[in-house]
Amino acid sequence: MLAIALPFSARDGHAQAADTARITRAVREICPGAQIRVSLHDGERMEGRCGAVTDARLLVRTPQGNAQIPLSGVKTLWVQRSYPTEATVLLAAAGAGIGFLVTPERSSAECIAKGNCSNRRDRIISGTTGAFVGALAGRFVGPRILSWVRLAP
């Protein structure tokens, strides 16, 4: 019976070591300071700020106090992230498009007076202004858009 169980336990140990190494790499990239959610193999869950990683243990700062978690006991690890860059780019592009599209046409009297009926320059100025306003909005809104991203496994 022991001969049958031994190969399976060795595989589980190898898989556990690989999971612990992956979790260690993930944690070292985000800690300290990131907001994390941790689910342990024993069913316990906690959420808090990530602290230092020492001796294969993770420090989690929760409102109830600090907790030292062995990385081998971590089942899943989630990190909260925001989207400032994505929001800035998206809103700048939207602002540029809207600015370009909503530029009013010049009146025929203005065309005759200036001798130039092209409003290409006006569209460029409106598009640039829209991109600038959109980028400012993205820098303000992006950090407030939060989601949880699973890091491990």
Domain limits, the chain:
19-96+143-152
| pTM metric for this prediction | 0.62
Closest CA to 40 of 76, 13, 67: 76
User: pLDDT tens digits for 52-86?
Assistant: 777 778 888 888 888 888 878 888 888 888 999 99
Give start and end residues of each alpha helix (H) in the chain: 2-30, 84-101, 108-114, 120-141
Q: How many CB atoms lie within 10 A of CB 108?
A: 9
CA 117 to chain centre: 46
Angle between the N-to-C axes of helices 84-101 and 120-141, in degrees from 0 to 180, rounded to the nearest 10: 150
- Whether CATH 3.90.950.20 fits 19-96+143-152: no
pLDDT tens for 8-61 read 444 444 445 546 677 777 777 777 778 888 888 888 888 888 887 777 788 888
Whether residue 117 has pLDDT greater than 70: no
pLDDT at 102: 85
The DSSP 8-state label assigned to residue 62 in this structure reads: E
| pLDDT of 121 above 70 | yes
Give phi and psi for 40, each to the nearest 5: -100, 160
The pair of structure tokens assigned to 146 is: 């939060």
Q: Which residue has the tokens 């106090």?
A: 65
